[in-house]
Amino acid sequence: MLVGLNHKSAPVAVRERLAFGSDQVPEHLRRLIVAGGSSEAAILSTCNRTEVYVACENEAQGTDAVVDFLCAFAGEARDTVSPYLYKYTGFDAAQHLARVAAGLDSMLIGEAQILGQVRTALQLAQGAGTAGPHLTRLFEAALRAGKRARAETAIGEGAASVSHAAVKLAYRIAPSVAEKEILLIGAGKVAELVARHLSRKGHARVRVANRTQARARQLAEAYGWSTLSLDELPSALRAADIVISSTGAPEPVIDARMVRPVLERRQRRPLYFIDLAVPRDVDPAVQQLDGAVVYNIDDLYAVVDTTVSQRREQVNQAEAIVEDEVRAFWTWYGQRAVAPVIARMRQRAEVIREQELDKALRRLDHLSEADKERIRALSAAIVNKLLHEPTIRIKEQARSPEGHRFVAAAAQLFGVEHELKRPANVQFG
């Protein structure tokens, strides 16, 4: 099961409250497991989504535990967070993750960064000790789907990234951007891609600011640019025309108090901010200042055409790959789930057969051992034939999208539902 929110269900102002830094994830995963309701857990947190994946015994309890966990992290009441959340269970949850890894659920269809982010989510869960066999196998299937989608289709060719969209937006803001002063705040992966796209445009007037000076110098020197410290931001803002920011800071690095005196000295020359960070680097209050124009990551929708219709053939091919990998995973999942149920069902039938056989044979003591053996064989054959068809049907249905529900119903029908509660087995809602 998964509970989460993304760029389609929640604005950046909500998403940033639920954004987990990589260094935060392991501790919070362990807290989620200790809180109960889930036996395995993983968190996928990017600028456009936060999704919590769990293996749980009870769907309602699992959902409540994850929602409470997210609300506690955000420091918000359930009524404030819940309207933005979505939930998928079973086959739908597996399919959703595979679509995410393939870039089919991204803001920018086909973008490549998400595949690495899915891999990181699995690694963090494994490091925290919360990724058991089910989530590990699920994430591995999703990663295969993502790799195949990019290798076997052209969905990633020409696909824009957030960084590319930011540079494209900069050129839309100022067609003569090559003549403008750009301030690049942050030196992580997103900033690296922004720098690469700016370099391809031949832009030379860029300054790089970052909390870690060594990292800023490494990025700047690669393109012949200059650096500055975050303490120098006020003076750097006075000279800048466009600010592109993508730090991992938990709080804004640019606020209205910093920007207001800068604008007063710019003599009506506007200052543009392109904020790619989640949580946001630029305080929303800056947008209210005369002369400041702030674009956040959600505004990139208007910059890059993300309509699926233009890439329908590639999307359809990628969807087929996703379906293939998810069904392969689901076959494994169903087989893992159904084996103990079938074994217990047959074991129970065998106990009943033995009990009734013993009663009958005590009353038929006059029979020869050969006849008694024939009766034993007859009773075993009857049980096997009676259970053959249900066994085949359970195995077949276990591989279907709703197989986990079918197996749970079959387990209740045969009175072996406690088999579904063993931690070593698949847990069902």
Closest CA to 13 of 303, 289, 282, 288: 282
391 with 344: CB under 8 angstroms?
no
Predicted confidence at residue 322, as pLDDT, reads 97
89 with 429: CB under 8 angstroms?
yes
Active site residues: 47
Residue 199 Cα distances to 120, 219, 371, angstroms: 28, 12, 91
pTM higher than the cut 0.85? no
30 with 38: CB under 8 angstroms?
no
317 with 152: CB under 8 angstroms?
yes
Closest CA to 150 of 117, 121, 115, 122: 115
Closest CA to 258 of 299, 278, 217, 286: 286
Same CATH fold, 162-302 and 2-152? no
Angle made by CA atoms 268, 273, 279, in degrees to the nearest 5: 145
Q: Which letter does DSSP use for residue 299 in this model? A: G
End-to-end, the C-alpha distance of the chain in Å comes to 9
Predicted confidence at residue 292, as pLDDT, reads 96
Domain boundaries, the chain: 2-152, 162-302, 338-421
Closest CA to 413 of 349, 357, 339, 334: 349
Write out the two tokens for 230. 């975050």
DSSP 116-160: HHHHHHHHHHHHHT---HHHHHHHHHHHHHHHHHHHHSSTTTT--
Are β-strands 40-45 and 49-55 bridged in parallel, bridged antiparallel, or unpaired? antiparallel
Closest CA to 1 of 47, 48, 64, 49: 64
Residue 379 Cα distances to 321, 355, 357, 371, 415, angstroms: 48, 11, 8, 12, 21
Q: What is the CATH number of domain 162-302?
A: 3.40.50.720
Torsion angle, CA of 177/180/181/186, rounded to 10 degrees? -10
Angle made by CA atoms 209, 281, 189, in degrees to the nearest 5: 60
Closest CA to 88 of 421, 317, 343, 404: 404
Predicted confidence at residue 422, as pLDDT, reads 40
84 with 4: CB under 8 angstroms?
no
Predicted confidence at residue 412, as pLDDT, reads 80
Give the Cα separation of 379 and 373 in Å (integer): 10
Predicted confidence at residue 424, as pLDDT, reads 34
> Mean pLDDT in each 10-residue stretch from start to end of the chain (429 residues)?
96 95 96 92 96 92 95 96 96 96 91 93 97 96 96 82 88 81 94 92 86 93 93 92 94 95 90 95 96 93 62 88 94 78 83 90 90 90 88 77 73 73 35
Predicted confidence at residue 335, as pLDDT, reads 75
Which residue in the block uniquely carries the two structure tokens 């070593």?
424
Superfamily of domain 2-152: Glutamyl-tRNA reductase, N-terminal domain (3.30.460.30)
185 with 246: CB under 8 angstroms?
yes
